Amino acid sequence: MQNLTCNQVLALLTFFIENKLNKNIMQSIEYHLNICENCRERYLNLRKILYNYQEISTKINENGTELYCDNQYKIFKENLSAYIDNELDDYENYKIKKFTVSNKLARQDLEDALIFKNLLKESYNKIKDEFKIDLSTQTINLIFENNSQKPRKFQWIKSFYVMFIIMIIVYTLILSLQI
């Protein structure tokens, strides 16, 4: 059994919940969850969200059709992410709020979505703070490093060409000023 870091455990949680890992890794995650309260809390929240989703998606009423399959609920589900991110206009926000107040399942979906969003945000911020690296700057620097390691064949021709273009531009500017 290997000791896993919090980041490793968090990255593997969905696979752990779905039993898609080998026995040794499952045991390592179980051990980590027993000793780390923060990871255990995130695990319980994620498990709750996934089980609620599975429960809702498998509920069937007497007619053999899915419950909560009405048009209003479908519209709610389609707009839930936009509502959480404040991307809807006032009227659409009002409709979502009104439906959420009157529908227990919608309230649960909203709560689960907010918990999941906060978990993602916390994980992103934790990773960002740990690495403290601007990936775009690092990528650009890596490109320049790779380019500087290549042999500089015909570098003087490129320099000459650039100088020639600059001279033409200056010459045309001088001519245009004289006219």
| DSSP symbol at 20 | -
Q: What's the whole-number mean pLDDT along residues 87-101?
A: 87
The closest alpha carbon to 11, from 85, 153, 93, 119, belongs to: 119
Q: Angle CA(13)–CA(18)–CA(24) in degrees, nearest 5?
A: 70
> Domain for residue 168, yes or no?
no
Q: What is the pLDDT of residue 35?
A: 93
pTM for the model: 0.43
Q: How far apart, in whole angstroms, are the C-alpha atoms of residue 8 and residue 23?
A: 16
More confident of the two residues 114 and 150:
114
| DSSP symbol at 21 | S
Q: How far apart, in whole angstroms, are the C-alpha atoms of residue 60 and residue 79?
A: 24
Q: How far apart, in whole angstroms, are the C-alpha atoms of residue 72 and residue 74?
A: 5
> Domain for residue 177, yes or no?
no
> Domain for residue 176, yes or no?
no
Q: Is a pLDDT exceeding 70 seen at residue 59?
A: no
Q: Residue 21 sits in which domain range?
A: 1-58
- The rounded mean pLDDT for the chain is 75
- The structure tokens 């907010």 sit at 114
Using 50, 70 and 90 to split pLDDT, how confident is the model at 156? low
Q: What's the whole-number mean pLDDT along residues 4-8?
A: 87
Using 50, 70 and 90 to split pLDDT, how confident is the model at 31? very high
Residue 95 near residue 102 (C-beta atoms within 8 A): no
Residue 33 near residue 43 (C-beta atoms within 8 A): yes
- 19 and 49, same domain (yes or no): yes
- The structure tokens 């919090």 sit at 6
- 48 and 90, same domain (yes or no): no
Q: How far apart, in whole angstroms, are the C-alpha atoms of residue 153 and residue 156?
A: 8
> Domain for residue 169, yes or no?
no
Q: Is a pLDDT exceeding 70 seen at residue 165?
A: yes
Q: How far apart, in whole angstroms, are the C-alpha atoms of residue 12 and residue 42?
A: 12
CB atoms within 10 A of CB 96: 20
Residues 96-145: tens digit of each pLDDT: 888 888 888 888 888 888 888 888 777 777 766 666 655 556 656 666 66
